């Protein structure tokens, strides 16, 4: 499901895993070896103990130099708790797969990018028992692609550019170039990329411009996959909104309630639960009959 910028920013690497290695090599200038094969892995890092932990996107890259786990985290804002969870993710993944993990953080915020790029060090001043150095993709290093021909040469990178820079005075040129480039690829991929960009555009004017451009290229919005992606996004929005309302009201949400809400794909039922969340006395009140 792609219902938010958080989801889109890491799901694009599931759609085109080669984009991630290109970003490492060409944007971050990291000498990452060329993969022979990249495969998506289960993102669930939950142990037997009931502590749920998940990474956003997890890819396994087979290269001539060995096998690497590419851990992608989409980060919307500064969150000091991640300074503890990110080292845990890397240690757990190494223990589970016995492959070298690489942490990549992607964000639309320069402030968040600066925070995320700081090394995480555990130990004392002159001796660090553990050091984690995230690689960060953000507005300060993802290239601005505002030229149609450049966008056509690498459509996934142009999509990432629009998702990262889709605001301010350069947004029209970026979005227009990408809209033209999307005509050159297959409709199924284009429909997914359209939704990724739409989810990431926080500027109302940029979002409206993007939708106007996509309406002009009508087959994107008529395509069944585009409608499916939009429907999935609406479902996820309602799932998350229902749980957020309870949390905002200070109501504890047990795992069983959270799992039931997140497993529901009936939009009408989710609407009912979201309305009940406003007045429910406890989390189980979502499911009480009328």
- 160-218 per-position pLDDT tens digit: 999 999 877 888 899 999 999 998 988 888 888 888 898 888 888 888 888 888 876 66
With a CB cutoff of 8 Å and minimum separation 6, the contacts of 248 are none
pLDDT at 222: 55
Instruction: List strand residue ranges (DSSP E) for the chain, in order.
Output: 35-40, 57-63, 66-74, 100-106, 120-124, 127-132, 135-137
- Statement: residue 2 has pLDDT above 60: no
CA distance 90 to 93: 5
pLDDT tens digits, 97-152: 999 999 999 999 999 999 999 999 998 777 888 999 999 999 999 999 999 999 99
Q: How far is CA 228 from CA 12, 15, 149, 163, 263, in A?
A: 17, 16, 30, 20, 17
214-250 tens-digit pLDDT: 876 665 555 555 566 567 778 888 888 889 888 888 8
The pLDDT of residue 229 is 58
Mean pLDDT of the chain: 85
Specify the pTM: 0.66
Distance CA 281, CA 258 (A): 16
pLDDT of residue 119: 95
Q: What pLDDT, on the 0 to 100 scale, is given for residue 212? A: 81
């Amino acid at each position: 499901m792609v219902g938010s910028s958080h989801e889109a920013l890491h799901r694009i690497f599931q759609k085109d895993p080669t984009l991630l290695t290109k970003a490492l090599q060409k944007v971050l200038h990291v000498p990452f070896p060329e993969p022979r094969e990249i495969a998506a892995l289960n993102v669930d890092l939950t142990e037997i103990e009931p502590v749920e932990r998940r990474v956003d996107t997890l890819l396994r890259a087979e290269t001539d130099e060995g096998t690497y786990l590419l851990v992608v985290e989409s980060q919307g804002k500064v969150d000091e708790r991640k300074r503890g969870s990110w080292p845990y993710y890397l240690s757990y993944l190494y223990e589970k797969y016995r492959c070298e993990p690489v942490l990549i953080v992607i964000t639309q915020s320069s402030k968040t990018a600066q925070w995320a790029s700081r090394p995480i060090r555990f130990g004392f001043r002159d001796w660090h028992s553990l050091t984690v150095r995230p690689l960060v993709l953000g507005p300060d290093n993802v290239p601005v692609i505002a030229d149609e021909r450049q966008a056509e040469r690498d459509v996934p990178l142009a999509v990432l550019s629009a998702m990262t820079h889709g605001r301010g005075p350069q947004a029209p040129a970026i979005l227009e170039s990408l809209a033209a480039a999307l005509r050159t690829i297959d409709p199924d991929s284009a429909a997914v990329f359209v939704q990724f960009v739409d989810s990431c555009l926080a500027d109302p004017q940029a979002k409206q411009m993007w939708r106007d451009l996509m309406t002009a290229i009508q087959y994107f919005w008529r395509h069944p996959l585009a409608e499916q992606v939009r429907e999935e996004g609406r479902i996820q929005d309602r799932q998350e909104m229902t749980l957020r309302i309870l949390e905002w009201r200070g109501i504890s949400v047990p795992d069983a309630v959270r799992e039931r809400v997140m497993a529901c794909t009936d939009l009408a039922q989710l609407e009912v639960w979201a309305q009940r969340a406003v007045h429910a006395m406890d989390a189980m009140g979502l499911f009480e009959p009328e």
